[in-house]
A and B are shown apart, each in its own frame.
Chain A
Amino acid sequence: MTLLELLKNKEKKIIDVWVERALDSYISSNFFKQTEDQFANPVGVNIRTGLTRIFQLILSEAEQQDFAEPLDQVVRIRAVQEFTPSQAVAPILELKWVVKQVLSGEEKGRALLPELVPFDREVDRVGLMAFDMYMNCRDRLYQARIRELKSGSYILTDSSCASAAVRENLQDIASLAGNSGS
């Protein structure tokens, strides 16, 4: 059995462990793991769907751009949650560890471990891509803050009262007039 065949055989097990570990990063991880309705559980279902697709794409030696959508499903969520940048993208890199754990469980898997180097390199590549996406998300977030500030809603909190400003203007004008008279 080749490594690829074995990975395909073990797909369900690998993905289950991988998703389980990724969702362990949330305090209420059980809910995120168990609820299957994608609208009742957007975090859990998006991460499960995204990671599943990423694993399948790695096995099918997909083009880099094909990873964008499933990666986005995972990273866009984690980029606004209370994670450090490394924690946000860590689930991708964890795949290497998960695969080794699963393969090590049986003799034929252990024998194929040395052949995992190209697979690991592929995971690293996807991991780096995840970091780019993470930065794009953060950038988008800061842009959103700037846009809100520029849109005028800042007047709610950070501007002076319009009529007070008029009064101040009048006082300035009066004091200028007073100065010029003296």
Chain B
Amino acid sequence: MAAPATPATEPETLEDASFLRDTLRAFRKNRMAMVGLAFVVLLVLGAIFAPWVSPHDPYRVALDEQLLPMSHTYWLGTDNFGRDVLTRILYGARISLMVGIVPSLVSLTIGTVLGILSGYLGGKTDFVVMRLADMMIAFPSLLLAMVVMYTLGANLLNIFLALALVGWASVARVVRSQTLALREKEFIEAARANGTARATIMFAHIFPNVVPTLIVLFSLSIPEAIMWESSLSFLGVGVQPPEASWGLLVAKGKEYIFQAPSVAIAPGIAILLTVMAFNFIGDGLRDALDPSMKD
């Protein structure tokens, strides 16, 4: 076949694009994201190895050492039971991180699948999914979560369940509206014109294009989940003392905010820093995953 001559000005090869390598390279170039990642890694290590790295016993009550200020022995002071605040924060990180990440992943997965199905298939599927989501959003979510916790019992697994139940609806809505926009794109029409199966279109074409949004949603839902957990714990249906979670630490610490501000403020700062770190990572990942940002 007489192939048309390749124009002389075209380069021999374009830069070979390896998706993973390019993404990692782009991510590494983002300084804020790397700082965020470093913080999260340190935090995770601190949480895992809390029994070894923490200077004190998190449960030891010492009534003669209540509400001490920051010192060499107690870097962040002590709480109303005389427990070391830094140690409690490290132990609390175990629960707070899990509560932040696990239910977010669950609600993201459910929301993404339902959102894409709803947006792409439309019709009855869309109607049913969206009315369900409307109900979830219209129902006071705190009440819903409390009902779950009361009926099923206050333990970590049920916190996950309650948070996932509350969280999927808004994810589904965002993903659905993105899917609706993507469905009209010419490359989706091209796939339809090629006789590509619907499932392939939904999960090979549409899904990769919602990933950046999902990453942003994920980085936003982690702090949200941490806040939710603290609300539930505050109301007494979440994490039960003497276990520690950051939300619980803030909630309990705020009663002594004038005598010993570090008891509430230190876990508050931990939440703040963690939330920021995840946001930086999320931004970095979103940019790094966009193929057109790499050049």
Q: Do A and B bind each other?
A: no
A residues adjacent to B (C-beta < 8 A): none
